[in-house]
Amino acid sequence: MIRTIAGATFREATRSRSFVLLLALYALAVLLSRVGGWISGTDGSTITANLVMSLQSVFGVLVAVATGTALVQSEIQQKTLYTVLSRPLPRWKFVVGKFLGLAAALVCGQAAMLALGIAYLWITGAPVTGWLAVAGALTAMEVLVMAAVSLCWTALSSPLLATVLCLATYALGHAVGSLPGLMYHLKGFQRPLCVAFASLVPDLSRFSYRDEAVHALPIALGEIVIRLAYGACWIALLVMITVIVVRRKQL
């Protein structure tokens, strides 16, 4: 049953207007990224590569948030959710199937973005190395974490509020990486309070290997595994919270 729900969700996600539109906007932004290289005062190819890899993260997260927050709400509006849950189907299977289908669609989208970005860099003469693929894989994990975040916030609030909260989580998740540098400016109870608050948000800076990849700076295999495992743990936790909320929610 999980496979059936995941397959239906995958088809629904890849056919949604927001999914297709944001992928098209990504392609357009990649084409325009060369302008940033031209007007920069440094190496234009390096700037272009940085922009292309950063765009994969930004548009990937936008796709995850836009698609993830609309999945359950669209089923409620179309009343297909009641038909599914009227069967002897545990709600956890419904949530897991929804996430797996969304995750599969996002991975396909990330693969397409990465392939398009690398092809564009190669055509324009920008530096292309295998480390860009590693950066793309870590960015894909970042997008999957944000997909889990979007499902969790959608279960707890309305789609509009969930979108705002997702974007706030994305911003805070990247700000958490600068926390060690700020600890020296905190005193007394402020330090443990700040650490406790930061632990409630996934540290998305762990998946930011894009700048290093552009300059072909290597990363250890063990470090890659740790970062991917960190993302997998956050995904499992967020999906578990979503299951608990959906179980208790009156639909």
Contact between 59 and 29 (Cβ < 8 Å): yes
User: What does the H/E/C string look like for 149-188?
Assistant: HHHHHHHHCCHHHHHHHHHHHHHHHHHHHHHHHHHHHCCC
For 14-66, the pLDDT digits (tens) are 888 888 898 899 999 888 877 765 666 555 678 888 888 999 999 999 999 98
Q: Could you list the residue range(s) of the whole structural domain that residue 153 is in?
A: 2-248
Residue 73 in this model has a pLDDT that exceeds 70: no
Cβ 207 vs Cβ 58: under 8 Å: no
Q: Does 128 score more than 70 pLDDT?
A: yes
Full-model pTM: 0.88
Using alpha carbons, select from 110, 30, 3 the residue that is nearest to residue 62. Answer: 110
Token pair for 160: 């509009």
- Is 127:214 a contact under the CB 8 Å cutoff? yes
- Please tell me the total count of domains within the chain: 1
Q: How far is CA 82 from the centre of its chain?
A: 28
